Chains A and B, each alone.
Chain A
Amino acid sequence: MISCNNISKKYKKVQALSDISFEVKPGEIFGLIGPDGAGKTTLFRILTTLILADEGVAAVNGLDVVKDYKLIRERVGYMPGRFSLYQDLSVEENLNFFATVFNTTVEENYALVRDIYQQIEPFKTRKAGKLSGGMKQKLALSCALIHKPTVLFLDEPTTGVDPVSRKEFWGMLKKLQQQGITILVSTPYMDEASLCDRIALIQKGRLLTIDSPGKIADSFKKTLLSVSSENMSMLLTDLRAIPEVESCYAFGDSHHITLKNRTSEYKQEHSDSRRKMADDITVIINNLKVNLEAKNHINVIIKEIKPGIEDCFMELSKNNM
């Protein structure tokens, strides 16, 4: 549905994208996950025919983004990262306007947007600029959907939206997927990655990996420990000073660390070696705890944890410096 081959794009001095290639299958929710400035918006703009790539070819719906830009513009739905509707028009006026822009009427495709639009319908006479963040997103999504696009491009649709609305929003995307719409969505929130069918991790204009969220998590081969204590900022410095600690990142309420020269072989068949492994880890955790308590840390809690997408991202991005 969407294909990208060796796309590169450079702004004056910054290499925004280098050699990006990926494929989005029909009916898929494909997530582009990466921090701010990774190049997500640039990639979206190339795919929505808004800017031209320096190198490489891309196609949407089998149509070339450069040659067939007019046809693509008729068929895709695009929701830019910034709220881009008319703030001085009401909810209803915005929707009606965008329906005419796409040569359709609200009535014609009401079925598609009904679930989403119904939630903001009570406020249909309110000016779009006066809506809350979550409602703005719903309106923007309704407007992007009103012409029944085959592909939906959503550039950071959940940025600046409260957690409840974010969850609702992903629920809506799942429903749209069931109607056969292919969705390319970008987000800086790693926790949203698991809601996509497949994801691409992007950093500094390079794709780190492309796979399903589960497989990416499985590919993390190292032992991952979460460590917490009373003084988290001290803890971060102290952990990084320990020679055996390979990497250490702050993750909300705990620090995630990996250790040098160790890989956790989850899939190992031999039960003996698995047990040996487990014993090993217990020893390491105890040593670490003693070490930290010696440095006056109180309430030290160390657990072995399963890696998440963010851990994978951190690990992969080390190789992309």
Chain B
Amino acid sequence: MHPEKPIEMKQFISFVRKEFHHIFRDRTTMAILLILPVLMLLLFGYAINTEVKNSKIAVYDPSNDTYTRAIIEKMQASEYFSVVKMLKNEQEMSEQFKSGEVKMVIAFSENFHENLLHTGDAQIALIADATDPNSAKSVVNYATAIIAGYQLESQQLQQIPFQIDTQIKLLYNPQMKGAYNFVPGVMGMILMLICAMMTSISIAREKEMGTMEVLLVSPVKPAMLIIAKTIPYFFISLINLTTILLISVFILGVPVAGSLFWLLALSLVYIFVNLSLGLVISSVVNNQQTALLISGMVLMLPVIMLSGMMFPIENMPVFFQWISQLIPAKWYIIGVKQIMIKGLGFSAIMPQLAVLSGMAVLLIAISIKKFKYRLE
């Protein structure tokens, strides 16, 4: 090592060390920063589950023949349903729904087997509680699939030579696992939260405590000051990224199908975007509370609502589709899905990488230009 480090380097190191002190000494915030991603992932993974598993259903089976019993058994055997009640009449059906005990009722027509054999026209009604439309839809889909599967099976047994079969195949996420969708979303949200929110708050704190005043009346260069601010949060977000990936691979079973390298590269660019976003926010606010509100409301809400994490962008009104283009998280989440879930390579994330890099350069330029070297 050269004994005399250049002055600027020394200043920089001293600044970064100070920032780390701030973070490590604020145990609560530190703990929140490290545990938040884990909690969010597990929460989305287990508590907020849009998957259908062991949905309670009731059955109304007036014909009660071999065919209907077989279908009911199939339902029971699948991991999606558990039959909790056999209904005696149609009146009981509405009672079941009112009490909210079952998600779906399967009602067979009378003389089901006979009708099927002779007229080929037997009916099953799937009646679902659509107060939660998403889960109702999946419940009905699963049931339809099971019934169709059974039909196919029995037709093959009876050697019917020709059969038209409609099949639905779910690409990339055959089990329709929710985790495949929310892992990229949580990654986008956590990295944004930590980078943008924490950076803006930590600069706002200097203004609030009056230390900024002292730093301004010193030879310190603004660019150095703000870059030093971002370093610790950069490292923390790397730790978070690692935790998220480990949890998603080993606990939630979402593999990284594509190149880990490009996934990390994309994440780094995204982290830079958010760090500089935090810097831009800090240049317009003077206290921690405003910084928190802005990064909470102005950043979080659009990310949740418009990034495609919760709601598909294609379903949004055109106006919001346009706005969603401006949200870094949207590009990141798409990119992550391309690599992690579809297992595509660099060429697939080129647009995302390009847009995010552009945003990073623009935001860093704005934040350095907007840095106030006076108090007003």
Contacts and interface: CB of A to CB of B under 8 A. Distances in A.
Interface of A: 45, 48-52, 69-70, 73-74, 76, 78, 80, 82-89, 93, 96-98, 100-103, 143-144
Contact of B211 (A48, A73, A86): A86
Q: Which of A51, A69, A73, A76 is the most central at the interface, judged by chain B CB atoms within 10 Å of its CB?
A: A73
A52 B374 contact: yes
A97 B16 CA distance: 11
A80 B219 contact: no
Contacts of A82: 210
Contacts of A73: 216-219
Given A45-B375, A50-B375, A103-B219, 13 more contacts: A50-B374, A52-B376, A74-B218, A76-B217, A78-B213, A82-B210, A86-B21, A86-B211, A87-B209, A88-B26, A89-B18, A100-B14, A101-B220
B118 interface: no
A102 B219 contact: yes
Nearest to A66: B374
Contacts of A78: 213-214, 217
B47 interface: no
B22 interface: yes
B21 to A, nearest CB: 6
Size category of the binding interface on chain B: 20 to 34
5 contacts: A51-B376, A84-B209, A100-B10, A100-B11, A100-B14
B25 interface: yes
A87 B220 CA distance: 20
Contact of A97 (B14, B217, B375): B14
B214 A51 contact: no
A259 B373 CA distance: 52
A74 B219 contact: yes
Interface of B: 7, 10-11, 14, 18, 21-22, 25-26, 209-211, 213-220, 373-376
Q: Which of A76, A97, A102 is the most central at the interface, judged by chain B CB atoms within 10 Å of its CB?
A: A97
B218 A50 contact: no
A148 to B, nearest CB: 13
Main secondary structure of the interface of B (DSSP, over half): helix
B8 to A, nearest CB: 9
B14 A51 contact: no
Contact of B21 (A48, A80, A89, A143): A89
A73 B14 CA distance: 19
A31 to B, nearest CB: 20
Contacts of A100: 10-11, 14
B216 A85 contact: no
A239 to B, nearest CB: 43
Contacts of A103: 7, 11, 219
A45 B374 CA distance: 9
A97 B228 CA distance: 13
A45 B219 CA distance: 16
A95 B177 CA distance: 55
Nearest to B21: A89
Contact of A86 (B10, B22, B220): B22
A167 B7 CA distance: 38
Nearest to A155: B213
A101 B376 contact: no
Contact of B22 (A74, A85, A88): A88
Contacts of A85: 211, 214
B218 A84 contact: no
Contacts of B213: 50, 78, 80, 84
A146 to B, nearest CB: 11
Given A84-B213, A97-B14, A102 B218 contact: yes
B11 A101 contact: yes
Q: Which of A52, A93, A101, A144 is the most central at the interface, judged by chain B CB atoms within 10 Å of its CB?
A: A101
B305 to A, nearest CB: 36
